[in-house]
Structure 1
């Protein structure tokens, strides 16, 4: 009997030890909350990065689609000025290389102007989006070099529309954008001798106009191959450009048939005389 009892107690003790070991193993294999939280945080971070990228890159991705849709308006030898097929485009003939002094104004025949006498220093126009309105006489000079200038009325165009317009300009050569207070339409596009006024930033004619006229090599603008780079302080500083003058030009303003001011900056090969590389 004693041995039987001892045997039972021994078996019971072994079972208890085994159960205790089992509970210890279960405890050691508990839920790895630290790892799970870490993985969740990484996933959330990646999701945030992807969402941020998708939101920030949306204007550029949308613009790529617009550019592709407007590709058929690129100029060719058989179709030298495709802008003639764009509804709303108006045209005029202007003489190039007629310069005025930085202190002089021009009585332009359109607002915004798209040709005529202009300052000898051009505004930097290689994909520049100016946050404030810039002196008109400098902006007109950019058109002479083959640029498309997008002007907008800051009182009629909201921030989303500004972003849509900016996507057409930022980082793109021979393209420039600026506010134009008092504009009679929300948006106006200018190239030398061409203008198109519009109501909405998603209008496909914006992209057609740019495709047809920016650096169009078929005699559409006077100075093919001229620079659009920044000239710098003392000439035209894009970080501190001459401001827009909203007042009506006075009686001393130069007329559209003006032949140029003696001593005004001239150009040789797209560079103003006196500038580095100019004559």
Structure 2
């Protein structure tokens, strides 16, 4: 009787031992497995694309909502802004003259003025009326303050509050109120640097209102004393 070790171990059938049908079935099984793997990968990619598209769409929708909310309320037209205590001085002459001018208002709000305008900016010293009025003619606002009533932190707050362009800020002694803001032919006395009417005045008259030469330059003229910005 042959020993157990001498018996032949069973072996896997080779391709030659498979029938034609078995070989065809094996190839089909390989193709089916490859197709399933391909479809699974494509499904993963589609899901990733859907997630990315959804996130992007949500971001766009959020941006649209923000824009609609921000722009949904129409801006109030300057003509509709009402300012308590504003004084209007119509029919002001806008000619150029030499020397000083005796203005009816203090600070002046318009009238004859110097041929060269005052450069807009922040001044720590009083500026010439005649040149400042020329800046008003170009649509600037002129914010004046009584240095005896406004200083320190209040002055810094006032400097931050004025528009960054087309505005003049300067001290003006003897004012009847702490702050006076003027535009061509218009003026209002303010109770202090935090008076909300200042912003209303800017919204109504800055680069607008009755100024004869709105948009003309507010630089390239002359500086007054103590310009710091």
Is contact 2:125–2:224 with CA below 8 Å preserved after alignment?
no
Query: Contact 2:127–2:225 (CA<8 Å) still a contact in 1?
Result: no
Superposition deviation, residue 94 in structure 1: 3.5
Q: Following TM superposition, by how much is the alpha carbon of 1:224 offset from its aligned partner in structure 2, in angstroms?
A: 2.2
- Residues 173 and 188 of structure 1: is their aligned pair in 2 closer, same or farther, counting only changes over 3 Å? same
Correspondences of 1:24-173 after superposition (within 5 Å) = 74-75=77-78, 81-83=79-81, 85-101=82-98, 104-125=99-120, 128-169=121-162, 172-173=164-165
Q: C-alpha distance in 2, partners of 1:189/1:212?
A: 12
**Residues in 1 aligned to 2:102 and 2:118: alpha-carbon distance in whole angstroms:** 19
On the 8 A contact 2:126/2:224 being kept in 1, the answer is no
Q: Answer whether contact 1:145 1:221 (CA < 8 A) is retained.
A: yes
Matching residue within 218, 223, 226 for 1:237:
223
Which structure 1 residue ranges, 4+ long, deviate > 2 Å from structure 2? 71-75, 94-97, 237-241
Distance in 1 (alpha carbons) for counterparts of 2:192 and 2:75: 21
- In the superposition, the TM-score normalised over structure 2's length comes to 0.62
Residue 191 (structure 1) aligns with: 183
Q: CA deviation at 1:73?
A: 5.0
* 1:166-195 deviation per Cα after TM superposition (whole angstroms, max 9, x unaligned): 11236x121110000111211100000100
Partners of 1:209 and 1:184 in 2: how far apart?
Answer: 18
Distance (Å, rounded) in 2 between the aligned partners of 1:238 and 1:138? 9
Q: Deviations over 1:56-109 (max 9, x none)?
A: xxxxxxxxxxxxxxx95552xxxxx345x11010001143431111xx111111
| Structure 2 unaligned residues grouped into runs of 5+ | 1-73
Between structure 1 and structure 2, the one with the greater Rg is 2
The Cα of 1:240 is off from its aligned counterpart by: 6.9
Counterpart position of 1:203: 195
* CA gap 1:92/1:173 in 2 versus in 1, 3 angstroms: same
Note the alpha carbon deviations across 1:95-138, whole angstroms, 9 max, x for none: 3431111xx1111111111011111111001xx11011111111
* Residue 207 of structure 2: aligned partner: 215
Instruction: Provide the TM-score with structure 1 as the length reference.
Output: 0.51
Count of residue pairs brought into register by the alignment: 154
The structure-2 alpha-carbon separation of the partners of 1:205 and 1:72, relative to structure 1 and needing over 3 Å to count, comes to: farther
Shift of 1:139: 0.7
CA gap of 1:73–1:150, structure 2 versus 1, over 3 A, is farther
CA distance in 1, matches of 2:75, 2:199: 11
